[in-house]
Structure formats: C-alpha cells, structure tokens
Amino acid sequence: MISQDKADRGGANLAHGLAAIDRLSATAVHDLQRMVAVDTSFPPGAGYDDFADLMHQIAAPLALECERIIVPEELWRAPGACGRRTNLIARRRSGRPVLGLYFHVDTVPAAPGWTTDPLQLTCEGDRLVGLGAADMKGSIAAALLALRAAQQTGLSLAYDPMLLLCTDEEAGLYPGVRYLAEQGRLEGHILNFNGSAMPRIWAGCFGLFTLTVRVHGKPAHAGEQRSAGVNAIEAALPILNAVAALKPVIAQRTSALPPAPQASGPLAASLDISAIHGGQCGGQIPSLVELLLCRRYAPEEDFIGARSEIETAIKQAAGSLDVEIILSGHLAPTSDPGGPHWPRWQQALSLGFGYAPDDFARWGASGCSDFGWVQQATGLQEVLLTGLGKPDSCIHAPGESTTLTDIVALAKSLLAYLSAEFCPELSPEAMTLKKDFA
C-alpha cells in the first residue's frame, strides 16, 4: 500500500493520478490479454507486424503518434528467423524533455509443460498467467495504464513519453533497439522495462551470443550398407563431447559485477547446448543435424576470443566432417548504467512498490540486455531499469506470470516519475532549468 504522506509529496494532482490507476486497473488486464494473444515468439519472430497493429490501436486514444521502423533483412537474417522486423515508436511531442520507455515485444517460444494455453491470459486470483506476462508485455500494460491515468486526470508531466516497442531482444542477431540507436532515433534518457520488480539499482549485465552449428552427413536408406551414407547425428557426437568438455572450463570464469543479494556466489560465464534438430524417420540415415549453442560472456571477456574458443574446439572435434558455424544471435554486455536520474527513479519505485531506502541494493546479472548496443552506438551510458520479474514469475518457463498488484505498482512508479510535481529537487532537467533562470 502507498501511504498518504508519500502520495501528498507529489501534490494533489499526482494523488488523483494514482487513484485513477486503481480505478482503471481492469484496462491493464484487458490490454495484457490482447497482447498475450499475439504470438511474438522469437524464434521465428513472425508476429511483429500483428503486434504493431495492436499497439497502434491501443496508442491512438492516448494521443500517441505512431511510427513503424523496419530493420533491413540483411542485418537480422539468421537461421530460424523469419518475418518483418517491425519496431514501433509511439510518442507525444510538447517540447518537454523526452523519456524513452523501452520494451522488447518478443517472447521466447512456449516450452513444453504449460498446463494452460500460453497465448491466452489466465487469471488465477491476482495472478495473470500467459506467455510474456512478466517478460515483458505486462510492463507495456503498466505503462499504458500510467499514461491513461495521466490523460484522464490532466496530470502535468515533466517528460514527453516515447514508447520504444522493439524486436529481437531474445538473443536476436540485430535487435530493433540497436537499429534505432544507430539511426539516431533515441532521445533523452531511457527507462528500460526489461528488469525486475525488485528494489534494485542496476550495475550492468553479461553479453550473449548464439552459434548455429550444422553438421552435414550423407543420406541413404537405413537398410543399405553403412558405407552408403554418413549419419550426421552420430557424426556430431564428438562435437557435442567437445562442447560438454569446454562447458566447466568456461563456468570457472567469474565477473566483478556484483551478484544479486540472494545469489550463492559470483556471476559466472556459461556455455549451453540449447537445441538439437536432426533426422526425419527410422528408415533414413539423417543427413543433417543442427545444434544451437548459447554462450554468456562477462563484460571482462572479449567476444572475439570467446567465439574463437568455441569454434576452435568444434573444428578440432569435427576433423574432416562438413561443418558450418553461423553466428545467429548476439547481445553485447551492458557496462555500468548509473547516472543522474537514478535517485529520482529510486524514489518513484519506493512510492509505487512501498520500498524503503535500505531495501535497495546494486547488482548486475548474467542475464542479458540489448542496451550494450545502445551504449556503443550512442555513447549514452545511463539506463534506468525496472520491470515485473520476480523469483516466482517463471520467466522463460511454463506458467510464466505476473500479478495485477505489481502491474498497478509499476504504473504508479512510472506515473510519479513522469509527473512534474514529483521530487523536482532530484530532477536533473529541473535543476538545470532552475540554474538557467537564476
């Protein structure tokens, strides 16, 4: 619950806006239901156009101007990816400083084990279950709820919101926000919703790349002499063994990034065999097997060296086999994203979620973000972080969920941060303006 004295700090108008969020909370559930029903899973990423259509419909009544930006196919083309990479910018323009609100619209594919339809939002009391509910369509619903409350109450804003609804964050080769950054389409400072609903100060995160390994054999009738064919699956076994042997070596490499308070040890690099595809039937010797390898690397590591280490191990194990190694996804590490807006955002989170100052801790993650590319392309260092992830959210797993309580709390945090009345003494823009007129 939000205490009345905390609400009063922002003034009566903000208090009215916070009350409107409670009153309008059912609209967030409706928005989330519509978003979950659009399959934006990556791979393949074929649903981005449909999702942009939906978001355009929802944004229009909020007086947000929408623009679609398509990432050229030659940049993102990789095994398993298909469909247009449609990013949507929805914004207001009044001459105020800009606050970018970043969301990735893709989800991972639904894993086996769901007991409900992953593309149909299921309400279990306060809990909202569906693919992408926490990561991160629920955050989009929270932002829309905040903007709806601001519009209904006429709340004076300190920033012009600019929603960045972007593609291919889930280990894509060329994430949409990277393209927007390189095209000079980002403005102001950015609030990244790809985080947790926890009292956290972001310290940065690991990078990630995926390699698609194709081992070619020779097809033949399974009942013929074995010399007539080459079984690609069996031929791949030495490669799998080499990757498995490399895995514990890589896991010994740790990072200086501070781990989460509940972590049992330092953040460590990792290598995983994430997928295997090959073969068609019992009567045919398989001619192709495809492996997907996922490597998470610490900011202290070098991408080229990390990639070369794996490729060298594969080639040595493959011998004379016909093997292709393709870079199919890459997210660069995000370096320390601290900056002058964090103290005010921390206060806004405290208002929305009821956190105390002592609750906050600074930590990084071996999970990844596409904002390493943003930092490289723009020189922008500071990135605020928030989101709906919690230990029981089952993100990337069957039963992924968030709660309406957390959506409402996140909406209130955002509304406070957007409000011109909230903690102006902590606003770098307000303080700069004050100095200009002094």
| 410-431 residue pLDDT tens | 999 999 999 999 999 999 997 6
Distance of CA 316 to the CA centre of its chain: 35
* Close Cβ partners of 299 (under 8 Å, ≥ 6 residues apart): 204, 206, 207, 255, 257, 333, 334, 335
Whether 8 has a pLDDT exceeding 60, the answer reads no
d(CA 272, CA 252): 14
CATH of 206-331, one of 3.30.450.40, 3.40.50.11290, 3.30.70.360, 3.40.190.10: 3.30.70.360
User: In this predicted model, what pLDDT tens digit does every residue of 257-295 receive, in sequence order?
Assistant: 999 998 999 999 999 999 999 988 888 889 999 999 999
Least-confidence region, from 104-108, 183-187, 319-323? 319-323
Whether 437 has a pLDDT exceeding 60, the answer reads no
Closest to 83 in 3D by CA, of 66, 105, 56 = 105
Contact at 8 Å (CB) between 33 and 116?
no
Contact at 8 Å (CB) between 243 and 332?
no
User: In this predicted model, what pLDDT tens digit does every residue of 347-379 receive, in sequence order?
Assistant: 999 999 999 999 999 999 999 999 999 999 999
Report, as an integer, the average pLDDT of 129-147. Answer: 98
Mean pLDDT of the chain: 93
Domains of the chain, by residue range, sit at 4-204+333-436, 206-331
d(CA 195, CA 134): 10
d(CA 357, CA 246): 43
pTM (2 d.p.): 0.92
Beta sheet of 189-196, edge-to-edge order: 65-71, 85-91, 160-166, 98-104, 189-196, 384-389
User: In this predicted model, what pLDDT tens digit does every residue of 158-181 receive, in sequence order?
Assistant: 999 999 999 999 988 999 999 999
Buried b (16+ CB within 10 A) or exposed e, 182-208: beebbebbbbbbbbbbbbbbbbbbbbb
What is the token pair recorded at 282?
A: 């019992």
User: In this predicted model, what pLDDT tens digit does every residue of 85-104 receive, in sequence order?
Assistant: 999 999 999 999 999 999 99
pLDDT above 70 covers what percent of the chain? 95
What is the identity of the amino acid at 35?
A: M
What is the pLDDT, as a whole number, of residue 359? 96
Closest to 287 in 3D by CA, of 356, 231, 327 = 231
What is the pLDDT, as a whole number, of residue 219? 83
Confidence of residue 432 (pLDDT cuts 50, 70, 90): low
Confidence of residue 227 (pLDDT cuts 50, 70, 90): low
CA angle 40, 44, 46 (to 5 degrees): 55
Q: Give the CATH number of domain 4-204+333-436.
A: 3.40.630.10
User: In this predicted model, what pLDDT tens digit does every residue of 48-83 receive, in sequence order?
Assistant: 999 999 999 999 999 999 999 999 999 999 999 999
Confidence of residue 135 (pLDDT cuts 50, 70, 90): very high
d(CA 354, CA 343): 16
Confidence of residue 225 (pLDDT cuts 50, 70, 90): low
3-state SS track over 259-318: CCCCCCCCCECEEEEEEEEECCCCCEECCEEEEEEEEEECCCCCHHHHHHHHHHHHHHHH
Higher pLDDT, 281 or 41: 41
